[in-house]
Structure 1
């Protein structure tokens, strides 16, 4: 018998040999990336339990973790309360006063000048804090009282003119031409 010479088309070769090979490589890449993601999430969360999850559970845990991190980043930073600074300032003033009182040879005039200066600065700080609070309240009130369209940039030109400055517009009839 003569050997049969069979011709295999490129399409048949691709379907039989190349496609399964490419699919295995693709799955191997996905698994490698999933393992890396699993390790990173376990590291960031500080929880090794995620390493024992299957792929779908691990992806869900990764999504939950990323959403929590996104919320943390979008949350405004908590401001340091001015009260804690004021308390610290007053504690420092008390300590300065105590040290000056215990120091031998301390001039009463120098002590009086230092304490007066510290008191004046404290009062100035209180006034500045009060003015800042009033400014923030007035800004919030003025912004809340004026409706602003979503397309508004917030500039004065976007705000409607007062009636005294508005130019009268003649009533015109609309015509289609």
Structure 2
């Protein structure tokens, strides 16, 4: 008998099958999901902003625009709630300081040095509270600012631009 050449099927391991077939397929599916979500996000932001210009942006620009939009929304939602209580607290604080000052002035047993120390302390705390509020506002504004394409990305660039934008005031608060 003539010898017949056996053709053996090549056996592909599971790892080889995964690397050749499954992995590229899974990657394409993952990218398709990401693109679908990006398109949905792009459409939603365009609807909420009322601006179709976002539909023409590339993916990275669209994501940046979406972040800026969401940060603005967060600020707008907090705006009616946040400033009113703080202003109310400041007004209450000032009323309390006035009342303390009035009571100390009417009290014949109150030492002038103690009164001066108390009023100085209250003034210092009020200034600290105002500076803290200004610092928080500055941080919120800087977090909403998109990174400049010309910026090097170093923290010192951000600090220099903020220093130029907000001049320091050294006014002393006095309750009387």
TM-score (norm 2): 0.46
Whose relative contact order is higher, 1 or 2, with alpha carbons under 8 Å and at least 6 apart?
2
TM-score (norm 1): 0.46
**Largest Rg, 1 or 2:** 1
